[in-house]
DNA sequence: AAAAAAGTGTGTCTAATTGTGACAATCCAG
DNA sequence: CTGGATTGTCACAATTAGACACACTTTTTT
């Protein structure tokens, strides 16, 4: 794991979000924030998150409930954050699937230490990675087998994909009909953010098109949005 | 996203609108204002708004109610503004779908910080307001396929459109039979406002006409409104 | 462990798209 | 009808994307 971990800070207080983001970034992490459950789910759908810092008290669905929801579909590590005096919930939080627990007010050193510890602990596990709920996607004349990481044409013939090509295609397939910037794609497929003159996504898109498009010169599946990025146009169905 | 965000300031007090607009513009944002719900809805229909600064107390329909109305059709980020002493409404505001909350009187730095924070948070999400429920529009002898970003003649033959041509046509198709100024079109299609001698829309309209009109010299679909802009005349139906 | 193969990203050149300036054509007020 | 303002369109410059070669990494094979 040489990629810098991407941490999602979920707290309804914007000042706390800002404060925490700032020192996490300073320590070299990539950070996204969310103010409630809805935003959290959006972030989880759009980005490859490595760890969630989840406040217990939230408007709408509360932290415990969110924690359980996340656990039902993935095993992203979660650190619960709670205001002092709510310590009773510690056991409950851990039972809900949180990986650690920290009480407000907290020092930056403490949070950093816990994050590091949890990440180290989790990376050691032969992370079977989140159990993908669906195992096959169909689109255009292709089938993407998530379990086998294989691309099949409709008649079942395998088209070999490299790791990077597969990851990029996966990012597209899971977010069809949406314009995705190069930066987003890089985050989703590679887990890193773009550097100044980064053209690697273009190259990889070009390679994918060569393998998948009937006529790579006028692509039907992955289209270019000039000045914006790329968009995966086909209807995707799961099976 | 390199386009400068467009912020809509909704407040019934003209002095506050002016004050806020001024420092937002100074900070590089594009700004529109509205004094009540009616004007707000007009602005939302006419321009591509990236964020709404919404005062809680308004004549007619109040801020909370407007907030809910907006949320029912879009997910444009909203920051609620409220006079001091109304802090009780904080949770209520967030539950109504606001993304953040700020109390009057506020410092400019505070407002700018919150706006920046909300925009950054949202920028990772689906490009703000292109959740078109319908995927195809028909007009004249053309069909515009929104998913595939393709223009088809009635017999199904594809007419290639560049990204900019597609975006402009989309702006027209979604607002047919209305005079649209160059400034509006630039905002809707490009997400930026016109500079002094901006003729790019004219050029792009010319290019669209060349591809779509039977006789580009006497256009039937996109007509010129002398001194006003352009108007998309055909009846548009969705399918 | 060394060698070979496959995969990935950067730099360069080419192609496509877009915006701007120029100038002709058109429109409208007086 | 005339003149200034506005619009249509062309050519060109600037920006962005595609393709390809090559260097650098990682993985696999020997």
Q: What is the pLDDT of residue B85?
A: 59
**Does residue B135 contact residue B147 with C-beta atoms inside 8 Å?**
yes
What pLDDT band is residue B128 in, cutting at 50, 70 and 90? very low
A138 vs B120: CA distance, rounded Å: 33
CA of B186: nearest nucleotide by C1' is C19
**Does residue A53 contact residue A31 with C-beta atoms inside 8 Å?**
no
B231 vs B176: CA distance, rounded Å: 7
Q: How confident is the model over B233-238, as a mean pLDDT?
A: 94
> Is the Cβ pair B117, A33 closer than 8 Å?
yes
**Does residue A128 contact residue A232 with C-beta atoms inside 8 Å?**
no
Of B117, B125, B164, the CB nearest to A18: B117
Q: What is the pLDDT of residue B195?
A: 85
Instruction: List all nucleotides in chain D with at least one atom under 7 A from a protein Cβ.
Output: 6-11, 16-21
A62 vs B66: CA distance, rounded Å: 25
| d(CA B227, nearest CA chain A) in Å | 30
Give B9-67 pLDDT, tens digit per residue: 999 999 999 999 999 999 889 999 999 999 999 999 899 999 999 998 888 888 888 88
Q: What is the pLDDT of residue A105?
A: 65
B116 vs B124: CA distance, rounded Å: 13
| % residues pLDDT > 90 (chain A) | 36
| Domains (range + CATH), chain B | 6-123 (3.40.50.2300), 127-238 (1.10.10.10)
Give A87-125 pLDDT, tens digit per residue: 545 455 555 667 777 776 666 667 787 888 788 776 655
**Does residue B31 contact residue B9 with C-beta atoms inside 8 Å?**
yes
CA of B204: nearest nucleotide by C1' is C18
- What's the per-residue H, E or C state across chain A? CCCCCEEEEECCCHHHHHHHHHHHHHCCCEEEEECCHHHHHHHHHHCCCCEEEEECCCCCCCHHHHHHHHHHHCCCCEEEEECCCCCCHHHHHHHCCCCEEEECCCCHHHHHHHHHHHHHHHHHCCCCCCCCCCCEEEECCEEEECCCCEEEECCCCEECCCHHHHHHHHHHHCCCCCEECHHHHHHHHHCCCCCCCCCHHHHHHHHHHHHHCCCCCCCCCEEEECCCEEEECCCCEEC
Give B165-214 pLDDT, tens digit per residue: 999 999 999 999 999 999 999 999 998 888 888 999 999 999 999 999 99
| d(CA A227, nearest CA chain B) in Å | 9
Q: How confident is the model over A61-90, as a mean pLDDT?
A: 72
Q: Is the pLDDT of residue A7 over 60?
A: yes
Half-sphere exposure of B32 (CA within 13 A, CB side): 24
């Amino acid at each position: 794991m040489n990629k810098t971990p991407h941490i999602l800070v979920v707290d309804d207080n914007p000042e706390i979000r800002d404060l925490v983001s700032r020192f996490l970034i300073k320590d070299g992490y990539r950070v996204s924030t969310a103010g409630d459950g809805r935003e959290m789910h959006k972030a989880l759908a759009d980005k490859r998150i490595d760890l969630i810092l989840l406040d217990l008290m939230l408007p709408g669905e509360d932290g415990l409930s969110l924690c359980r929801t996340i656990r039902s579909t993935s095993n992203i590590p979660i650190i619960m954050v709670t205001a002092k005096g709510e310590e009773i919930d510690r056991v409950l939080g851990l039972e809900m699937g949180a990986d650690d627990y920290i009480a407000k007010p907290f020092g930056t050193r403490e949070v950093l230490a816990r994050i590091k510890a949890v990440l180290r602990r989790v990376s050691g596990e032969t992370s079977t990675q989140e159990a993908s709920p669906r195992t096959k996607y169909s689109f255009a004349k292709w089938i993407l087998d998530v379990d086998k990481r294989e691309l099949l044409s409709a008649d079942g013939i395998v088209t070999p994909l490299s790791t990077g090509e597969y990851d990029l295609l996966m990012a597209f397939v899971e977010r069809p009909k949406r314009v995705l910037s190069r930066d987003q794609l890089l985050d989703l497929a590679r887990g890193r953010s773009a550097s100044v003159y980064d053209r690697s996504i273009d190259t990889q898109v070009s390679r994918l098109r060569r393998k998948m498009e009937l006529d790579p010169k006028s692509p039907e599946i992955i289209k270019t949005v000039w000045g914006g990025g790329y968009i995966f146009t086909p209807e995707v169905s799961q099976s």
